[in-house]
Structure 1
Amino acid sequence: MDPVIIVGAGPVGLSLALALARQEVPSVVLDEGPGKDEQRPARTVVLPEDTAALMERLTGVPLGEYGLRWTGWRSMRRKQVIREVAFEPPGAGQDRPGGYGSTVERAVEDREGTAEGPRTVEGPPPLHIAQHVLTGALREAIAGERLVKVAVESRLDLLEQEPSGVTAHTRGPNAIWWRGSHLVGCDGPRSTVRKLLDIRFPGRTAVERHAVAALRAELPWAGEALLHRMPPWRTSGPSGGEVTARPLPDGVWRLDWLLPGKDLVTPELLVARIRETLAGWNGGTTPAYDLLDTGVHIVHHRLARRWRSGRVFLAGDSAHLLGALGTQGLDEGLRDIDNLAWKLALAWHHGPHEALLDSYQGERRTAVAARLRAADQALPLLRGGGGLRSYVPGSARGQEALLADGHLGRGPLGAPGAYGASTLAPAPTEAAVPVGTEPGAPVLDVRVTAEDGSFVRLRDRLGRGSLLVVLVAPGTGVWERKHWVSAGIMPRLAAAVTALPHPAELLVAESYPGAAAHTVLLIRPDGHLVTALGGVRPADLYQAAEAALGGQSTAKAAASAG
């Protein structure tokens, strides 16, 4: 069968190629460049726990050695001193001048100096890494992968498809026609694939603009990420000159300054920003620093109308753009390919699964739209420049919490999307029980016992194309597998797993948050929970697995059911 054609050799395209290869699906990556990436220290990405784990699974590299996980998150702001004047209630002190009774009156004053917010990062900290380092790790992994071919200096210019496959033409030194089973456009904001399909890409232009600098310097907060809202040395614009600092290895920092309006960023302006910011953080004295790279980052918010057209799909920046309020766009692109890879692999190996392939657009477009909507709703509050909200006690703390959500990958602005309303969700049954993860949401990473008796992390078993069935069995963690694998409910559960309509791996966990003993979790290959069942329910487990596959059974399922 023909390989999958992937247009674009950025992190999303390369990750998709590796994800498909892990499921024995060949691919051709069309790279319009020379196969090397420009080293830009100021171009970095922040990966939350789920996408950082995905990258480490695909590359086989502990990326913490090349990036930096924050040890803390520090939020700083201009001090606000609240004065309260309380008048007595009606009827009291009528004989005293001014004793008319009133509600509490509050006034807010800005004073020089800063106040620090929370310093902790709840849960695993995000990974901050230079994008060219991440792409380099992906390219190195692909170099040893027999199922992936990278065609350099190959720019797509024509695209045709029919029921049996896709044909793509590239121009360059070796102009050629390529034949594929499917094609995925991972070719960025100006996607040629999207334009050839005539898919609209509506949204907002220049939602935010940031001046960016990568520099080596000693800052007072080693290893901590910093958000400084309204620093006292900056008063221009409604944002007050918001600046963020994110650490990288070897004493390197990425600094971002929110820019008001459309002011031109000159080298002189950027150097002035660097010096005043470093001085503000170091008691008025600018420390020595080594400027490595600079740039201007312009944030757009756009969402493609369609993400699938026949055998052609869009992923990453070709399908969506986001990034305001500290959010990241790459993490959603990586979630796109994690969602799409196992569905393409199943269709590639077993034939048409139209409902399953259709679910890619339904699940991913809905999840990204929710983040865009959350950002659009928060922007007026966070960038509106005061108003009555600034006089409400606690409003500053609430605004910082919103921004922290975007930067830390949590809450409506940053958390991974859940697919509870997906067409792949099974029908409710009496056997379903609640656990600490809602159906459709990503499962939590716990230690499990694999079929060979080894202890592994649950997330290490994802991305192989198989369903995962996890039995919660307290006490099994202290015994070797051979002592309990044939006892109790295990034989019946093993038989039920073997009969499922798709290959599945049976794992055992000592515990799972919110799950009672003998709870059975059914998990998709991309790590999203299908359902949790109270005990071994073969019929319910089968129906849930069939729904998760789009309602289509494979030949193996039909044979086993018969």
Structure 2
Amino acid sequence: MDPVIVVGAGPVGLTLALALARYEVPVTVLDEAPQQPPGQEERRAARTVVLRPETAALLTRLGCVPDGGTRWTAWRTMRRRTVVARVPFAEPGEDEKPAERERDAPEGGPDGADDVVGAPAEPSPLHLPQHALVRELRLALEREADVRVAGDSRVTILQQDSAGVTVHTRGDNGTSWRGSYLVGCDGARSVVRKLLGARFPGRTAVERHAVAALRAELPWPGEAVLHRSPPRGGEVTARPLPGGVWRLDWLLPPDGALVTPDDLLARVHDALTVWCGDIPAYELLDTGVHAVHHRLARRWRSGRAFLAGDAAHLMGALGTQGLDEGLQDAENLAWKLALAWHHGASDALLDSYQAERRTAVAARLRAADRALQAVRCEGGWHAVRRTVVPGAVRGHDRLLAEGHLGRGALGALPVHARTPLAPAAPPAGSVLVGTEPGAQVADVPVTAPDGSCTGLRDRLGGDLLVVLVAPGTGVWERRHWMGAGLMPGLAAAVSALPMRAELLVTEDYPGAPAHTVLVVRPDGCLVAALSGVRPAELYACADAARGGAVAPAPPPARVAEPSGAAVPEEATANR
């Protein structure tokens, strides 16, 4: 069978290619830019990415962990002269208990801690330079024999038929390429999106930011900082990077005025003076100005062609992280394309990518737009205090923190409540647990039949997972519990499922009674929780997760089309 074609060798395209390779799917990556060896990518210190813990865990499972990535330990909020509050989101150390934090916080009032709602201790996000992420992805791909990266290959023609996709490229590698499926990960100006005729409506220049990356010693090592009332203009944020480097972002006025180098240096000096008392020694590494756009493609799938990352959506206001969403696109699509490549796929499976991911991104964009109306309206912070933002908490600081940290309405992982890959009705024997169907499972310790012990999320990215909640199994040797109780019947039921599945055992799962059986998709979404061993219901859950039975493949047939013409939507296959 022909490889999957990935157009674009940015972080999203490379992550998708690596994920597909781990599913033993051959991949051809077509990149418009000349191919660079790992380590020779353009280095922009001010171009960085913030990844939610779950997204960072995806890269770890793929064997791509950029060295020196900084995980924030807390979020500080400042006014012009006063540290208002410290909103922690990592577990406190033994010498720093929550009570001590409360004692050190200033009193409430106009400039006090009443303006900030505390956040629970949770894993912190990962912040790293984008070029470091690209370098590690390229190095990981070099170890994959079935991945080919072709630089200087600009796609000019895209044609589909019932058996696959043909694209033509120009450049040093100009030729024709044949693939089973194609994914456009070629950025905001996506050629693939244009060839597919997918509309890309939205808002232009929602926000503008000036950015600087500098090496300096700031008073909060490992902590992100939100300065709500700096001397010049809107808020400024500072986020730590490896090697003592910081990224500073200033919200610019919406008038589009030019930011001169002198103006940017003045902003740097203002911030450092307020934070440190005097301007400390620093090294300015990189600067830039960028506009934030909010756009969402109407269609993410046309037959055998798909869109992902910036080709499908643009976001970034109030700290929301578009690249993180793009990597979530890659994880959602990879296992579905792998299932289709190895075993064939129903339309329900392939359509579920758009149904799930477009819905999730649309909800995040709506939440950001609602929050912007309150946060950026006349009256600023006081207007926020009077405004209830639907689906989010009140407070400028909390809204920004949610966007940067990947939590709340602006950033939390989605729940695919209406996914096509769920049983038509709750299966008999369904039970309620701490995770609702369609949400990401909790990362509890699990044991595999071979006796190996890992976290549940470490087992993602492979087969369907079937997890038995069996308290007490940890005190027994595997040779005892594998042949006792529910295990023999459950193992037989798992072996009869319509897609490959791995059987795991955990001693405890939030909200789950003993003998609960969890059915978990390869991307970590809970399909259902069942009470005991129910072979018929378990089969129905697995069948729903794969999108139902696969229709017989039609005989290959080429579709004659004019040279250079894209296939119209109504003529694409599998729709």
What TM-score results when the alignment is normalised by the length of structure 2?
0.86
SS in 2 for 1:146: coil
Task: Please give the secondary structure, in 2, of the residue aligned with 1:551.
Answer: coil
Q: Deviations over 1:433-476 (max 9, x none)?
A: 11111100111111100121011111111112x10000111111
Please say which of residues 471-480 and 447-456 is displaced more in the overlay.
471-480
Q: Note the C-alpha offset of 1:214.
A: 0.5
Q: Distance in 1 between matches of 2:476 and 2:291?
A: 55
8 A contact 1:75–1:116 mirrored in 2: no
Taking only the aligned residue pairs, the percentage that are identical comes to 67
CA distance in 2, matches of 1:79, 1:275: 15
Give the corresponding residue for 2:370: 377
Paired residues of 2:375 and 2:383 also in contact (CA < 8 A): no
- Residues 111-510 of structure 1: pairs in structure 2 closer than 5 A: 122-231=121-230, 233-234=231-232, 236=233, 241-261=234-254, 262-283=256-277, 285-386=278-379, 389=383, 392=386, 398-426=395-423, 427-464=425-462, 466-510=463-507
Q: 1:40 to 1:115 in 2, by over 3 A?
A: farther
Q: Matched residues in 2 for 1:486 and 1:406: separation?
A: 48
Inter-partner Cα distance in structure 1 for 2:546 and 2:301: 18
Name the aligned partner's letter for residue 300 of structure 2.
W
The answer to which structure, 1 or 2, has the higher relative contact order (CA under 8 A, 6+ apart) is 2
> Residue 75 of structure 1 aligns with which residue?
77
Secondary structure of 2:197's aligned partner: coil
CA distance in 1, matches of 2:138, 2:313: 24
Equivalent residues of 1:471, 1:507 under 8 A apart: yes
Asked if the contact 1:71–1:121 (Cα under 8 Å) also holds between the matched residues in 2, the reply is no
Distance in structure 2 (CA, Å) of the matches to 1:131 and 1:118:
31
C-alpha contact (below 8 Å) 1:501/1:554 kept by paired residues: no
Code of the aligned partner of 1:71: T
The residue type equivalent to 1:29 in the other structure is V
Contact 2:239 2:248 in 1 (8 A): yes
CA distance in 2, matches of 1:309, 1:393: 41
> Which residue of structure 2 lines up, in the alignment, with residue 15 of structure 1?
15
Alpha-carbon distance in 2 for matches of 1:242, 1:467: 45
Q: Return the alpha-carbon distance in structure 1 between the equivalents of residues 198 and 115 of structure 2.
A: 46
Residue-by-residue CA offset, 1:82-130 (whole Å, 9 max, x unaligned) = xxxxxxxxxxxxxxxxxxxxxxxxxx9967x999957866311000011
The answer to whether the 8 A contact 1:214-1:293 is kept is yes
Post-superposition shift, 1:318?
0.1
1:6 counterpart SS class: strand
Indicate the larger mover: 150-159 or 30-39.
Answer: 30-39
Q: Distance in 2 between matches of 1:451 and 1:294?
A: 53
SS in 1 for 2:242: coil
Cα distance in 1, alignment partners of residues 405 and 197 from structure 2: 35
Q: Distance in 1 between matches of 2:427 and 2:173?
A: 57
Q: Give the secondary structure class of the aligned counterpart of 1:250.
A: helix
Q: CA deviation at 1:349?
A: 1.0
Which consecutive residues of structure 2, in runs of 5 or more, have no partner in the other structure? Answer: 83-107, 553-575
Check the 8 A contact 1:449/1:456 in 2, yes or no. Answer: yes
Moved more, 380-389 or 311-320: 380-389
Q: 1:128 & 1:264 partners in 2: Cα distance? A: 28
Instruction: Give the TM-score, by structure 1 length.
Output: 0.88
Shift in Å, 1:549: 1.1
- Evaluate the alpha carbon distance shift between residue 401 and residue 150 of structure 1 in structure 2; reply closer, same or farther with a 3 A threshold: same
In 1, distance between residues paired with 2:194 and 2:229?
Answer: 41
Equivalences for residues 542-557 of structure 1 within 5 A: 542-552=539-549
In structure 2, the residue matched to 1:41 is 45
Give distance in 2, aligned partners of 1:118 and 1:272.
32
Kept in 1, the 8 Å contact 2:5–2:180? The answer is yes
Is the alpha carbon distance of 1:394 and 1:15 closer, same or farther for their aligned partners in structure 2, counting shifts above 3 Å? closer
User: Counterpart of 1:104?
Assistant: none
Please state how far the C-alpha of 1:425 moved relative to its aligned partner: 1.3
Question: Could you list the per-position Cα deviations for residues 484-540 of structure 1 after superposition, in whole angstroms to 9, with x for gaps in the alignment?
Answer: 111001000001101111000000011111111111000001110000011111111
Deviations 1:302-350 (A, max 9, x none): 0000001111000000000011101100111111111111111111111
Secondary structure at the counterpart of residue 359 of structure 1 = helix
State the 1:354 CA deviation.
1.5
- Equivalent residues in 2 for 1:521-560 (5 A)? 521-552=518-549
* CA–CA separation in structure 1 for the residues paired with 2:385 and 2:510: 40
Q: Which moved more, 1:258-267 or 1:187-196?
A: 258-267
Q: Which runs of 5+ in 1 are unaligned?
A: 81-107, 556-562
Distance, in Å, in 1 between the alignment partners of 2:115 and 2:200 is 40
Cα distance in 2 for partners of 1:121, 1:137 equals 32
CA contact (8 A) 1:78 1:114 kept: no
Q: Contact between 1:468 and 1:523, CA under 8 Å: does it hold in 2?
A: yes
CA distance 1:303–1:392, change in 2 (3 Å): closer
Residue 245 (structure 1) shift: 0.6
Q: Helix, strand or coil: the match of 2:79?
A: strand
- Contact 1:522–1:530 under 8 Å retained in 2: yes
> SS of 1:212's equivalent?
strand
Q: Is the 8 A contact 1:467 1:525 kept in 2?
A: yes
